[in-house]
Structure 1
Amino acid sequence: MKILVTGATGALGSRLVPLLTAAGHTVTGTTTTEAKTEQLRAAGAEPVVLDVLDAAAVREAVADATPEVIVHEATALSHQTDLGARELRRLDNVFATTNRLRSEGTDNLLAAAAGAGTRRFVAQSFAGWPYAREGGGVKTEEDPLDSHPPAGTEQCLAAIKHLEDAVTSAPGIEGIVLRYGGFYGPGTTIYPGGEQAEMVRRRLLPVVGNGEGVLSLIHIDDAAEATAAAVERGTPGIYNITDDDPATQREWLPRLAAAMGARPPRRVPVWLARFAAGRWLAMVMTEGRGAANDKAKRELGWQPGHPSWREGFREVFAGQPAQAAR
């Protein structure tokens, strides 16, 4: 098949493109910088420098590629970004461009896809915190998203909802939304030198309150494998792409520190977390919901190669020197 992948040099795109080319697909990969085009050629893809927010450029690129499938993985995130308490207070500011890519960018791609006769559209969403904070700790795709997100995250959640609604309701297109869990592994924030790993090493990411908020994680390679499966099969709709082991924050965060050889995370009361880093961090740590992957395993014929983050963390940080806190 002919496939267009946006964000093809990002954390997930760079793992996905080689899988698609190895399977015999003809892949066009987009990047925002000329410097990364050789990376795409080396992976067997045809590179295109593209700003997904430029509607005219998107129409031209899609018309030239004539893809049967578009995979939308474009974000403006980098694991080298230095997130501190101020940034955690207003994620909408940090994610401003990514929010536009999820809303305007998605609309641009869907419009171009309709004009080019694209059959299937696979898009990146997120299962890390948007589920409604009610009922059980692990949610399925049928459960509602949060209707009252913490202050400073309203635009993030609105962009996610816009993407999901637009993709799954696009006329004449098989729309598939993949709600990924929290990424870890090469190129992500949970990897030696990555942003979250550094925060853990420096003891800047605490367990808040009872730490009973649940998080679902996924190794980046398993996320790429699931995405490759969604390119080829699966009925239109929404799929949680997570491992088999949703865990409370008080469970996985200390184990991440241990895998890194770092000191255990601090524990702070909810009021202090709200004061220092805002309501979002306190919410995630104490009220967050995980996501079940049964539908993806059943309908995509996919199984995570890292069923649990427990072994995954040990693998990712194996052989690393102890990460002493500053």
Structure 2
Amino acid sequence: MKILVAGASGALGRPLITHLRHAGHEVWGMAQSPRGVEVVGALGAGVVQGNALDRSKVFAIMERLRPDCVVDQLTSLPASPFDLPLRLPADRVLRLQGGGNLFDAAQAWGVQRYIQQSCGFYLDGAGGLADDTALLKIAAPGHVGESARMYAALEKRVMSAAGMQGTALRYGFFYGPHTWYWPDGAFTAHMRRGEVALIGGGRSVFSFIHVDDAAAATVSALSAPGGVYNVVDDQPTGVQAWLPAYARWVGASAPGQMEEQAALQQLGEESVYYQNNLDGASNHKARRVLGLAPRQQPWGAV
């Protein structure tokens, strides 16, 4: 199968290209920057350079390649999670408008399958684990709610595709090489500098996924029925448990404690929400249909 991966030089794009090539697919990666083009080429994929926001360029790429499947992994995230509020508006523009160009071009040139990156950590599990039918937390405050509404729009777009099989993969928080959550990652650097605090009771439940496991599930989705899948690991864990365990794993001091009222005043409502109102996700469907077999979190047993 000929596959075009948009956002191919990102934390998931890199292992995805490797997994796709090992599975025998013809893989093309679209990247915008010269560095991204270099990364994709070094992985052995065909390379096309283009900005997803350039609609005519995207249509020209699609016309030339005529892929069987497009995998939309477009993101514009900062090097550090602490900079998310500044970058998220641009990220939403890229995913909605740039991804819209990609989606429209795929439909125009007869692409058979379309796989959309979605979100497995802003799901409404009504206080429990969210399954694949759960809605996104579109009423959440600040950037959490805005991003949840963006993901809802992306899912609606891909699942309403005419004449093209649509799949939305709701990935958990990524960890592994080139992510924030790794020994050399940005979140770890903040932890080691004592810049991460546990807010209130840390009642949120986080669902993670290693980027290699996410890539393997994405490859499986190429031959699976379309639909929505939660691609998360087997260890949904409360913030109050995983945050100190992660600190021990990376050799950082235990996180400090911040009361919710103080966090509201200093950091804003969405920071309190992030640590106290997110629900974990169930991966039962992805395990059954995609053969997802996620590894254990490296900090889980520390």
Normalised to the residue count of structure 1, the TM-score between the two structures is 0.88
Q: Which residue of 1 aligns with 2:39?
A: 39
Q: CA deviation at 1:243?
A: 0.4
Partner SS, residue 142 of structure 2 = coil
Match of 1:159 in 2: 150
Partner SS, residue 3 of structure 1: strand
| Alignment-derived partner of residue 176 in structure 1 | 167
Question: Which whole-Å CA distance do the structure 2 matches of 1:36 and 1:144 have between them?
Answer: 34
Describe the superposition over 1:212-266 as per-residue Cα deviations: whole angstroms up to 9, x where unpaired. Answer: 11110111111111111112x2211111111001000000000000001111001
User: What do the CA deviations read for 1:70-103 (whole angstroms, capped 9, x no partner)?
Assistant: 000111114x3372xxx56xx3x42112111221
| Alignment correspondent of 2:129 | 138
Which residue type is aligned with residue 131 of structure 1? L
Structure 2 distance, partners of 1:215, 1:36, is 30
8 Å contact kept, 2:15–2:212: yes
Are the aligned partners of 1:137 and 1:288 in contact in 2 as well (CA < 8 Å)? no
Q: Please give the per-residue CA displacement for 1:24-79, whole angstroms capped at 9, x wherever unaligned.
A: 1111101111233233222221111111111111101111111100000111114x
Gaps of 5+ in 1: 315-326
Residues in 2 aligned to 1:246 and 1:275: alpha-carbon distance in whole angstroms: 29
- Specify the SS of the correspondent of 1:139: coil
For residues 225-264 of structure 1, the aligned pairs below 5 Å read 225-231=216-222, 233-264=223-254
Cα offset, 1:137, TM superposition: 2.7
Given that residues 190 and 196 in structure 1 are in contact (C-alpha distance below 8 angstroms), is that contact kept between their aligned partners in structure 2?
yes
* Contact kept? 1:21, 1:43, Cα under 8 Å: no
Q: Distance in 1 between matches of 2:182 and 2:4?
A: 28
The range that moved more, 213-222 or 143-152, is 143-152
User: In structure 1, which of residues 123, 147, 162 is the aligned counterpart of residue 116 of structure 2?
Assistant: 123
Shift of 1:119: 0.6
Supply the AA of the counterpart residue of 2:76. A
In the other structure, the counterpart of 1:49 is 49
Q: What is the alpha-carbon distance in structure 2 between the residues aligned to residue 12 and residue 277 of structure 1?
A: 30
Q: Are 2:25 and 1:25 equivalent residues in the alignment?
A: yes
Tell me if structure 1 keeps the 8 A contact 2:200–2:258.
yes
Matches of 1:39 and 1:152, distance apart in 2: 30
* Alpha-carbon distance in structure 1 between the residues aligned to 2:202 and 2:143: 21
* Residue-by-residue CA offset, 1:113-165 (whole Å, 9 max, x unaligned): 1121111101111112x223x63331111122224111344432222111111
Query: Distance between the aligned counterparts of 1:151 and 1:114, measured in 2?
Result: 33
Q: CA deviation at 1:313?
A: 8.4
Code of the aligned partner of 1:68 = D
Matched, 1:285 2:275: yes
2:189 is the counterpart of 1:198 = yes
1:64 aligns with 2:52: no
Residue 262 of structure 1 aligns with an amino acid whose one-letter code is A
**Offset at residue 310 of structure 1 (A):** 4.3
> Is the 8 Å Cα contact of residues 131 and 144 (structure 1) preserved in structure 2?
yes
Q: What is the root-mean-square deviation of aligned Cα atoms in Å?
A: 1.7
> Partner amino acid for 1:178?
L
Whether contact under 8 Å (1:259, 1:313) holds in the other structure is no
1:276 paired with 2:266, answer: yes
> CA 1:313–1:179 in 2, change beyond 3 Å: closer, same or farther?
farther
- % of aligned pairs identical? 34
Alpha-carbon shift at residue 207 of structure 1 (Å): 1.2
SS state of the match for residue 290, structure 1? coil
- Which aligned pairs between 1:107-118 and structure 2 lie closer than 5 A? 107-118=100-111
* TM-score normalised to structure 2 length: 0.95
Distance in structure 1 (CA, Å) of the matches to 2:255 and 2:205: 17
Letter in 2 for 1:4: L
The aligned residue for residue 81 of structure 1 is: 80
